[in-house]
Amino acid sequence: MTTHPDGIPLDLSVDHVELYVEDLDASARHYARAYGFTVYATADRPGEARSVAIGREHIRLVLTQALAEDHPAADYVRRHGDGVADIALTVPDVVAAFAAAVRRGARPLAEPEETDGVVTAAVAGFGDLRHTLVQRRAGTDHRPLPGFTPAPRSEPEADTGLLAVDHFAVCVEAGLLRSTVAFYEQVLGLRNTFTERIVVGAQAMDSEVVQSASGGLTLTIIEPDTSREPGQIDHFIKNHGGSGVQHIAFRTDDAVRTVRTMAEQGVAFLSTPGPYYRMLAERLRLTRHSVPALAALGILVDEDHEGQLFQVFTRTLHPRRTLFFEVIERVGATTFGSGNIKALYEAVEAERHG
């Protein structure tokens, strides 16, 4: 793993994602049924909080419910509802990475400490999100977290084929895009890989993508143009109560099979207008999947100079209509197809007004 001369790791990757939730048991059941995740560890801190670690392949989510009013999860849920509170990052040396990040301007939240061969520390990210830095000593299993007890092995309710976290979409308040991108470039050593301005009717938004050298961490950071009519980004920021993770994209190697399986498990996806598929054959020569198969499931397709990508959004189940998820398959493509961004935006707008 390479490191910047002053100690900033250049190929950060996602270790796990912690969501603060109002109802832990209901949330765990939902992710198990809808996404084919299984519980692999639990943590019970009487009078404080309960947590469940759940996932499959390289996807690891930690769901935490507060048991005390002064626990951070209680305050988070009051302000935001269920949502992403921590994007934890694997680093080769927590002590060095923490010191370097703080030296370059990160706000420290937790000093380095070691428990059972796992070293952790934490710094603040955008909004009230935190980044826990994680280092596992040689010989330590890649899944356990300090304070967690392994759960009995169980079979998934469905084989969804989900493999890893592909990226996070982050909505920031107007005027914060550049400073947020600069934080990840200068403090955590990510590089800017994509810039886009999207105009849909009377609405507009600006976005930039930052990514670690290995591609193990990718953030699409979006801000609304408040000189235009309010749209879905404004809606998220208002209902979430500030900047936050709008959606998590899970990668698969077969979008059609994954989406079909998830739909059978009760997951609802955003619909795509029929004309999109009537024009698709003229716009692209598909390298895999058929237009009828994509149309039946509402999957979008686009391409960059490296290949094609297939993607679709889930309908949000959040009471505030904020957090949702994405399924994405990359067949060579390494960026985000510009042709899909407008279609995805319009699909979310239709859902928001539906």
| Distance of alpha carbon 309 from alpha carbon 311, whole angstroms | 7
Task: Please give the pLDDT value at position 284.
Answer: 87
Binding-site residue positions for Fe cation: 167, 247, 326
Torsion of CA 346, 347, 350, 354, to 10 degrees: -170
Name the residue among 158, 113, 336 with its Cα closest to residue 260.
158
| Cα separation, 256 vs 260, whole angstroms | 6
Q: Residue 6's pLDDT is what? A: 59
pLDDT at 7 exceeding the cut of 80: no
Residue 152 has pLDDT above 80, yes or no: yes
Pairing status of strand 130-136 against strand 83-90: parallel
Decide if 126 contacts 170 (C-beta within 8 A): yes
Q: Average pLDDT for residues 177-192, to the nearest whole number? A: 96
Q: Which of 63-67, 90-94, 139-143 has the weakest average pLDDT?
A: 139-143
Q: What's the token pair of residue 130?
A: 């935190």
- Residues belonging to the binding site are 167, 247, 326
Give the per-residue pLDDT at 352. Answer: 65
**pLDDT of 202-231, one tens digit each?**
888 999 999 999 899 999 999 999 999 998
Tell me the pLDDT band of 200, cut-offs 50, 70 and 90.
Answer: confident
pLDDT at 347 (0 to 100): 64
Query: Per-residue pLDDT for 146 more than 80?
Result: yes
CATH fourth-level superfamily of 13-150: 2,3-Dihydroxybiphenyl 1,2-Dioxygenase, domain 1 (3.10.180.10)
Structure-token pair, residue 11:
């190929």
User: Which pLDDT value is given to residue 103?
Assistant: 95
User: For residue 9, what pLDDT band results from cuts at 50, 70 and 90?
Assistant: low
pTM above 0.85, yes or no: yes
Confidence of residue 339 (pLDDT cuts 50, 70, 90): low
Confidence of residue 335 (pLDDT cuts 50, 70, 90): confident
Of the pLDDT bands very low, low, confident and very high (cuts 50, 70, 90), residue 342 is: low
Is it true that 13-150 and 162-353 share their CATH fold? yes
What percent of the chain shows pLDDT beyond 70?
A: 91
Under the banding of pLDDT at 50, 70 and 90, the label for residue 119 is very high
Average pLDDT over residues 70-80: 98
pLDDT of 143 > 60? The answer is yes
Residue 139 confidence class, pLDDT cut points 50, 70, 90: confident
What would the pLDDT profile of 275-306 be if each residue is shown by its tens digit? Answer: 888 888 788 899 999 999 999 999 999 888 89
Smallest CA-to-CA distance from 329 within 251, 216, 215 is with 251
- Overall size of the chain counted in residues: 354
By the 10 Å C-beta count (0-12 exposed, 13-18 middle, 19+ buried), 46 is classed as: exposed
Q: Say if residue 341's pLDDT is above 90.
A: no
Q: Return the percentage of the chain with pLDDT > 90, whole number.
A: 76
What residue segments make up the domains of the chain, in order of their start? Answer: 13-150, 162-353
CA dihedral 79, 147, 162, 190 (to 10 degrees): 70
Please identify, in words, the CATH class of the domain defined by 162-353: alpha beta
Backbone angles phi, psi at 201, to 5 degrees: 60, -125
Contact of 258 with 252, CB cutoff 8 Å: yes
Give dist(CA 238, CA 224) in Å, integer.
Answer: 12
Higher pLDDT, 261 or 344: 261
Mean pLDDT for the chain overall: 92
Check pLDDT > 80 for residue 89.
yes
Half-sphere exposure of 305 (CA within 13 A, CB side): 0
